[in-house]
Amino acid sequence: MYKIAIAGTGYVGLVTAVCLASKGFSVTCVDVDADKVKAMAAGHCPIYEEGLPELMKEHRNNLTYTTDYRSAYKDADVVYIGVGTPEKKDGSANLDYVRTVAEQIAESAEKDCVVVIKSTVPIGTNQSILALLQEKAAKGVTFEIASNPEFLSQGTAVKDTLHASRIVIGTQTPHARKVLTDIYEAFGQPIVNTDIKSAEMIKYASNDFLALKISYMNEIANLCEITGADVQDVARGMGYDPRIGNKFLAAGIGYGGSCFPKDTKALHWLANFNDYELKTIKAAIEVNENQKLKLLKKSRKYCSSLQGKRIAVLGLTFKPGTDDLRDAPSLQNIPYLLESGAEVFAWDPVGIPNFKKLYPNELQYCETIEEALHGAELCFIFTEWPQVKALDPAVFVRQMASPVILDGRNCFDLKAMEALPVVYDSIGRRAIRNLAK
């Protein structure tokens, strides 16, 4: 079997490493954070991801964690690069971490090696990294490059890796293609073999298409509110069309996370850099930014001032199943609530520790939904956690001083809410105003 090293132990790198280990490969995980490496070596999973801690434990004999990149790369047959490519101020992708790892690989490798870029990178990056590897390679060492983008979602990353809809492999040599094909044969998934630039584009085109789909449905939802249509019925009717499908049709308050916001901006920047404008992507970015403030705009109908108001917030993370806050609507809404003089009481099953790093004392963190709702005059729902969706709507009436619920994820059935003395305003559906009951 091939000896594999993986640079980076975030969502992409660690999930890839553990899933490869589950197929019998010996994998060395490299990270610059010594404390993180020590914790992983002791069996602790550094990210909240369903099934990952169990898989790490089950296949620990195939996994090594280290900060010593030289020893990890010197005799590796394959090195995956899975480090971050964060967004720069201008929207372009920051490739500094990718380049740093490439330089480390070049100075460390003592045998021929296939370098696989799994990080999301702009079209043309693989070729520039190959040039860097060749420039700095030790005498007699040959490098080959491959693009192998990931298509995992946070919260379902293990499942998405082990049971992917497809595996994309972009190469320019038969040997590199054979190595990647051999590795992924154990996964039993469809393989799309292509050239490197096409593989790079497949990643961006896929992510940005889903962002477009979400943004389109949010615009339809906004129009539904104006015209009196119900966006959930609209989505249900659309979803039966096999050309459209029923995925990513749920209206809400915008997308977040580590991929869609960054990838739409990066592709938009790349197009502009090449004197072309992707009008659809530009529109998706604008729609998403506006949609995140949808609940705040709705609140003005029910509350002229937030000063001194007790506000309940249900959900801090950008989606359920993860503790990731990146581009979460809560990060735009809660600062505004605080600046407006509101008292914020927030609940989230896993996101509170990360939110506390940003706002340690500015708001109250609650262990239960009921605690967050107690005495509240407004409730904002930012994340559709199962605990929220399973809630008996009557709890709003029992716990809140004034049950005004602004639901950014359409968690509750309109008929159930209509039977209660509440204000319930969601996305793309008629508002219920029954406080007079």
**Residue 75 to residue 112: CA distance in whole angstroms:** 9
Give the active site residues: 259
Distance CA(399)–CA(6), nearest Å, equals 49
The Cα–Cα gap between 279 and 268 comes to 9
Q: What is the pLDDT of residue 436?
A: 62
pTM of the model: 0.93
197: nearest Cα among 251, 133, 126, 245? 126
Give alpha helix (H) positions in 195-278. Answer: 196-227, 231-239, 260-273
Neighbours of 325 (CB within 10 A): 19
Could you say which DSSP state residue 254 is in? Answer: -
pLDDT in tens, the chain (437 residues): 899 999 999 999 999 999 999 999 999 999 999 999 999 999 999 999 999 999 999 999 999 999 999 999 999 999 999 999 999 999 999 999 999 999 999 999 999 999 999 999 999 999 999 999 999 998 899 999 999 999 999 899 999 999 999 999 999 999 999 999 999 999 999 999 999 999 999 999 999 999 999 999 999 999 999 999 999 999 999 999 999 999 999 999 999 998 999 999 999 999 999 999 999 999 999 999 999 999 999 999 999 999 999 999 999 999 999 999 999 999 999 999 999 999 999 999 999 999 999 999 999 999 999 999 999 999 999 999 999 999 999 999 999 999 999 999 999 999 999 999 999 999 999 999 998 64
pLDDT at 437: 47
Q: Which pLDDT belongs to residue 139?
A: 86
The β-bridge partners of 3 are 26
Residues in Cβ contact with 333 at an 8 Å cutoff, skipping those fewer than 6 apart: 292, 293, 295, 296, 313, 380, 382
DSSP-derived 3-state class of residue 359: coil
Edge-to-edge strands, sheet with 378-381: 364-366, 343-347, 310-314, 378-381, 404-407, 423-425, 432-433
Q: Closest Cα partner for 332 from 254, 220, 265?
A: 254
Domains of the chain: 3-194 (3.40.50.720), 203-291 (1.10.1040.10), 294-433 (3.40.50.720)
pLDDT value of position 377? 97
What's the confidence (pLDDT) of residue 208? 97
3-state secondary structure (DSSP) of residue 110: coil
Report the pLDDT value the prediction gives residue 1, as an integer from 0 to 100.
Answer: 85
Query: Token digits for 288?
Result: 């998403």
